[in-house]
Structure formats: structure tokens, C-alpha cells
Structure 1
């Protein structure tokens, strides 16, 4: 039974089921993705650092939608953590990989130490690459399935005072674009979700409240719905929100970087 007053994407259970893996499922886009995938009757593997939060979410989804769930507690910012996920899904038939794990970490580039840089790149970039490689191999063998890679607006053009997360998400953008055609002949879909300003906990973490942002963030339900609908159509790039798509086309990247730099400079506490 779907939740009232909610519009969820419709997924082909044969193509993307019977199991789906959602990383970063404890909050924000990942949590909403778990709801919308479960509403289509797909069983779920929920992945994040907070196992107890995932267990409560899984129980809620099982009650609402009658699905089976599995919790994998893993910190994908640490090298080798992807192996825990790979081993924990070896015995089930996965057809959808929603690669949502990631973080935003505003601050001046020179304020970070090398260990912080490695963790951000591991979580936001390398973990997506390694897990996409694994699940794409599995999807190719079964002749169907799809991956949705979560990236960010501005990752290709640069985000001042958010340089490292932007750079690592730029890896995700290029990976998805490169694989979109390469994997199509194997029956494997892959799409990149360019997250436009969305009402998630990340907005607060970034210090971007309603007053700081030029436009009101879109509901997370809309972001995920458009993402899953785009994956179903095997779109290469998915950018939710018509207004954001128009602005992205008409505004020069240099102007966007200047505006973003001013906004991020005011919002971050890392700048002296």
C-alpha cells in the first residue's frame, strides 16, 4: 500500500527486480529512494553507516509494502568497505543499484588535511566506480538491470569552497556518461542524477538556509521520482526540475561559479 498523497515513480519489477541496492539509505535522497523502490514491490538492501536507522527504515517499508529487506552497515568512505556490500549481496538477484552514498563538505580547500581529502574522494567518487563495476558485471550477465549514480549540480563546472566534493562527483559524471553507451548493448542501463537544490539534511549541513539560496529547494520526493523515471527511460543525464534545467542551459558557467563562490563563502564556517 502506497503512502497517501505521494506520487512515486513506477518501475518495471522484472527489469529492475527482484532486489534493489540503495546506498546512503539512512537519510535524504537515499531514504526517499528506498520508499519509492519499495512501493514498486522490490526487495531492498539498505546500506549506510547507521545500521540501527536502516533497520527501523526497513521494518517500516516491510509493513507498508510487504517487501523483504536486508541491512548492510558499511562506511564507504573507508577503502575496502565496498567489499562488505559485495559479499552481503552475493546470494541475491540484484537488478537495481541506486548509488547515493555521499557527503557535502564546505570549506576552503587549504583547510583540509590529506586524510579528509582521501575520505571525501573515496566516498563521493571511488566507491561509486568500484560498485558500479561490480553490479554492471552482474547486470550484463543477466541481460537487464540498471544503475543510478548520484552526482551534483556544478560538479563539472566547479564549486568554490566545495572543491573536493565537486571534483569527486565530477568523476561520477564522467563515469556515467562514458558507460551509458558502452553498457547499452548488454541490456544494462546507467543514468546520472544531477541533484539540483533539494530539501534534504545536506542543505542544513552546507549552511544554505532558505534565505541564502536564490530558489526554494524542491521536495525530495520530486527529485527521486524524476530520477527513477529517467532511469526507466534510460536517460543518460537526469536533472530534476524544469526551472533548474532551463537555468543550467542559459547561464554561463563562469557566472554560476561567481554566484556560488559568494554564497558558499558566506555560508561556510571554514573560511577565515
Structure 2
């Protein structure tokens, strides 16, 4: 686990999707470096559990914001709850997927995924990018996915939205460097999370092994501290995506077939 410099990236950090999985692990590793953490997610009960654990194990302060990041108006709530804090690190991690045949999925659900996977990254990067630039130091981590490298059948909307934080982060890495702000994008290829279990990817033959949330977050902070734009560059990502595409589509197709009622 990488030690994160509290003078540069503290005294406070903000992590979205912090109630479980990769988000909770981001919060844990940040707190282990002595940085206080603002935790944002929908479930107040799970946020409270994570906050209690961080306070007990790492003796840091926490603040929780219970918020559905897939809805409009999230930035006002987050800004109001954090304007009094000196935030030096922002991890925009919250995201979701909704696999299925594009035209069969409800439009409202597709729009909610766009809100969560695109607009939330946009608003947080814009708001905190300004704040971090004004303070002259800090870091921004956006979380994308290997699916952002191209269009995936039965994940058309999902893969399109995952391309946004990848491209945004790569550009901001260059734009904000002169202001002293480090920006990197975590591009997890296959991480052991409930989403992976639900789609059934671990049960098929893929060119990579699934890694733990701890390993994924360590990759992100290594890239951030080494001033790299992403955890996996485009030259490696494109062929890896091509290798994985067929297997991922097969896994989703099987899941969809299994979910259809028998006639």
C-alpha cells in the first residue's frame, strides 16, 4: 500500500461510492495515511459502518453524505457539505452498469446511468478541479473501466459512459499539471466486486485474472504518485479490450438468457 503525502493530498479527501467495494477501499487506504475522509454514497447505514471503521482503525475524522449520485442536483449538496473543509484529494469512483439489449432497456434507467457515470464525474471534476488549482496542490482520481476502450454489445450505454471519465481524466492530467494538481484515471480491467459476480465474468475464460479492490486502489495511487494519466495506457488497453470483448459479450448473453422466463 502506497503512503499518501498528507501535506499534498490532505488534510481531507472526498470519496464517492464509498460504502463498499473499490470506494470503501479507497477510503481505507487514504485514512491509513492519516488523511480525514468525506464519504459519499446512497446508503447512510453502510456509510456509517465505514466511517466507524476508519475512525477506530486509523484515528481520522470522517464526514458522511448520504446521496443518490444518479440523480440531478448532487453537486449543490456536496459543495454545501464540504465548503468548510480543505480537501486535497478527490476520488470520483461511484458508477454502475445496466447490461442488456439497448432498445429493450427503459430510457429512464439509461439516463440514470449517464447521470451517474458521466455527469457526476463532470461536476465533481469541474468543482474540485477549480478548488485544487486555487490551492496549488492536490489530486483527482477518476474511475473508468476497460469497457471505456470501445463499444460492448449488450453494454452499449455502459461502455459509452465509461469512455467519458477516461478521456476526461487524460485531458485534465495535462491541463491541471501546471496548477500543481495530479490527475489519474483508474481503468480496472477485472476487479472482484459484486458487479463482476452479477454479470458472471469470473466464471469464463478471460485473458486476465480478477484482482482485489485493494490491488486496484494500489494501482490507482501508484499511478497518481508517479504522475501518470492512467493505470493502463492506451497502447496496452486497446489490444486487451479486443481480447476480452468476445468473452464479456458471451458472459452477458448467458446471463440474459438465464434471466428470461421459460416458455
* 1:106 corresponds to which of 74, 99, 108: 99
**Would you say 1:53 and 2:41 are equivalent positions?**
no
Alignment of 1:1-272 (within 5 A): 8-208=1-201, 210-214=202-206, 215-239=208-232, 248=237, 250-251=239-240, 253=242, 256-268=244-256
* Residue-pair matches, total: 259
Aligned-partner Cα distance in 2 for 1:201–1:232: 28
Q: CA RMSD, aligned part only?
A: 2.0
* TM-score (structure 2 length as normaliser): 0.92
Q: Is the 8 A contact 2:205 2:247 kept in 1?
A: no
In structure 2, stretches of 5+ residues that fail to align are: none
Q: When you count helix as a share of all residues, which structure comes out higher?
A: 2
Q: What is the CA–CA distance in structure 1 between the aligned matches of 2:248 and 2:198, rounded to whole Å?
A: 16
User: 1:28-50 CA deviation, whole Å, 9 max, x = no partner?
Assistant: 10011111000000000000000
Q: Which blocks of at least 5 consecutive residues in structure 1 are unaligned?
A: 1-7
SS across alignment from 1:216: coil
How far the C-alpha of 1:234 sits from its partner, in A, is 1.7
Task: Return the offset for 1:156.
Answer: 2.2
1:117 deviates by 1.1
Deviation track 1:95-141 (CA, whole Å, cap 9, x = no partner) reads 00011001122111112122111100000111001111000100011
CA shift, 1:248, in A, is 3.8
Pick 1 or 2: higher relative contact order, CA cutoff 8 A, min separation 6: 1
Runs (4+) off by over 4 Å: 249-252, 269-272
Equivalence for 1:4: none
> How far apart in 2 are the matches of 1:120 and 1:153?
17
Q: Distance in 1 between matches of 2:3 and 2:165?
A: 25
Q: 2:9–2:139: 8 Å Cα contact kept in structure 1? A: yes
Give 1:270 shift.
Answer: 8.7
Question: Is 2:147–2:241's contact at 8 Å kept on the other side of the alignment?
Answer: no
Q: Is the 8 A contact 1:151 1:195 kept in 2?
A: yes
**1:204-243 residue CA offsets vs partner (Å, 9 max, x unmatched):** 22233x3224243111111111111111122101139xxx
Normalization by structure 1: what TM-score?
0.89
Task: Give the drift of 1:178.
Answer: 1.3
For 2:39 and 2:236, the matched residues in 1 are separated by 34
